[in-house]
Structure 1
Amino acid sequence: MTNPSAATVRRVTKDWAAAFPGFTVWRPLHLLRRIGPVVQGICLDRSTSGDGYCPTAHVHALTREFPVISLTLGHRLERLSGQPEAVLFTRQEGEFQRAVDALKAQSRLSLDVPPSLEEIVREYHSSSSARQEKGFPPAVMEMEDSILIAAAAHRRDLVEDSLSIATDLASKWPKARLPLTWVSADAWLEGMRNKADAAEALAETVTGQVAAHKLDKLKE
């Protein structure tokens, strides 16, 4: 494994920050911006070999206590074949710009103009439904995020839409693939509705997560 120098990491981070001025450098190789109770990010995830990185567009909900910034709804830069593509730390200028343009084109959420909260919630819905159709593990956390994000933003219409989709998906999720703490779909949905109704508690969680992850200086 080849590890890049600190100077190289700083250069790459600076280059990506310049290409995406709407984002803030949160940590080396990681850009973020805040959209209400959500952060949208570009993570330059290091490749297994260490000589490159995989640009990944993602979001993270601030409505649950979580120890790290997750790569929820993550989309890694892809080749035409659909396989993930790594960018070398020693890349040429043309290769870097191609990677930037490709990630912008491939990301399901805009990396230029900040997506609306509704667009983010709808993407949670689309991704969760697609996972069900493809037979992937149930998108329990993603559906929870979609409900709580909408509630934290006081979008009752989106809360109800999320609960409706959650009800439909929960009826299809195989019990063997659900969390060990799962009791029943009805109990889960009731719990989510109760959390969505607790606006003050959600606001406190968002504030606490902003402080815990040092996000107070992010662009919005």
Structure 2
Amino acid sequence: MTKLSNPVARRITSDWADLFPEFSIWQPLRLLRRIGPVVQGITLDKSTAGDQYYPTVHVHSLAQDFPVISLTLAQRLLKPSGVQQPIEVDRHPEEFRWAAVRLEEQSAFSLRRAPELSEIAEALRAFALAAQRGRLPAAVPELRDSVFIPAASGDAEAADESLGLVAELSEKWSKYEAPPGWTDTREWLDWLRATADDVPGLTSLVDGQIVKHKLSKIRSSPGSSR
């Protein structure tokens, strides 16, 4: 079976880029576009054996200091049965076009029109709500992103809506547990509010992440909040 060597990966990436001209090739097997403080991506996630890839759509918040472009809200291509659908490298020429059509149909966000930031924040809140189990803090990164993404774009109302949900959910968490990296949930909540209020600081952080991840040349739109 053919493996995803660098030349093969570049060819496959180019094929997908031709189908989605709204995105730019960022790296082999990675297509990205920037929507204000958010990156939307199509990742051709390499299998462990390297002879298959999983078409995956996702987003990533630039309103955080993070070492990589994450696969937040990741959705892999699914079969009608709901099972993940890999594409064999050897069958890529025959299968990638229909795979792209199905991935677009399954994606929570449009892969043509740039999704609005309010859509992304709403999806993050919905994910966090569904992830709550028991009294342990859950979906902390998604809750954070649901606050900072609208805040960084100047949408204080949407940021406040997310903060309200965070406060509501955190009341159900155990007083003996806190979000990772924190010893007290209240301190984390205060940090979220203070950071959301510091729009210039968030804007500077986004600008720094664009430089850090070499995103200045990928396609971008200002990022409508509504």
TM interval, shorter chain, is: over 0.9
TM-score (norm 1): 0.92
Residue aligning to 1:166: 166
Residues in 2 aligned to 1:176 and 1:82: alpha-carbon distance in whole angstroms: 38
Residues in 2 aligned to 1:146 and 1:32: alpha-carbon distance in whole angstroms: 20
Residues in 2 aligned to 1:105 and 1:137: alpha-carbon distance in whole angstroms: 32
Unaligned runs of 5+ in 1: none
Q: Is residue 2:54 matched to residue 1:49?
A: no
The CA deviation string for residues 74-105 of structure 1, in whole angstroms up to 9 with x for no partner, is: 11111222221111112154421221011111
- After the TM superposition, which residues 89-100 of structure 1 pair with which residues of structure 2 at under 5 Å, given as runs? 89-91=89-91, 93-100=93-100
Residues in 2 aligned to 1:54 and 1:25: alpha-carbon distance in whole angstroms: 17
Checking the alignment, whether the CA contact within 8 Å between 1:210 and 1:216 is kept in structure 2 is yes
State the one-letter code of the partner of 1:191.
Answer: W
Checking the alignment, whether the CA contact within 8 Å between 2:25 and 2:31 is kept in structure 1 is yes
Residues in 2 aligned to 1:166 and 1:49: alpha-carbon distance in whole angstroms: 40
Residue aligning to 1:101: 101
Checking the alignment, whether the CA contact within 8 Å between 1:138 and 1:178 is kept in structure 2 is no
Unaligned runs of 5+ in 2: 221-226
- Alignment CA distance shift 1:137-1:167 (3 Å): closer
- After the TM superposition, which residues 54-73 of structure 1 pair with which residues of structure 2 at under 5 Å, given as runs? 54-73=54-73
The CA deviation string for residues 14-73 of structure 1, in whole angstroms up to 9 with x for no partner, is: 011011110000000000000000100011010122101011101110111111000011
The CA deviation string for residues 159-207 of structure 1, in whole angstroms up to 9 with x for no partner, is: 1110011112212345677444333333222110000111111111111
The CA deviation string for residues 99-147 of structure 1, in whole angstroms up to 9 with x for no partner, is: 1011111111111111001111111111111112699970111111111
Percentage of identical aligned residues: 44
State the one-letter code of the partner of 2:132.
Answer: Q
Residue aligning to 1:83: 83
Name which of structure 1's ranges 94-103 and 117-126 shifts more when overlaid on structure 2. Answer: 94-103
Residues in 2 aligned to 1:134 and 1:20: alpha-carbon distance in whole angstroms: 41
Residues in 2 aligned to 1:181 and 1:205: alpha-carbon distance in whole angstroms: 20
Residues in 2 aligned to 1:133 and 1:21: alpha-carbon distance in whole angstroms: 40
How large is the RMSD of aligned CA atoms in angstroms? 2.1
Q: Is residue 2:130 matched to residue 1:123?
A: no
| Number of aligned residues | 220
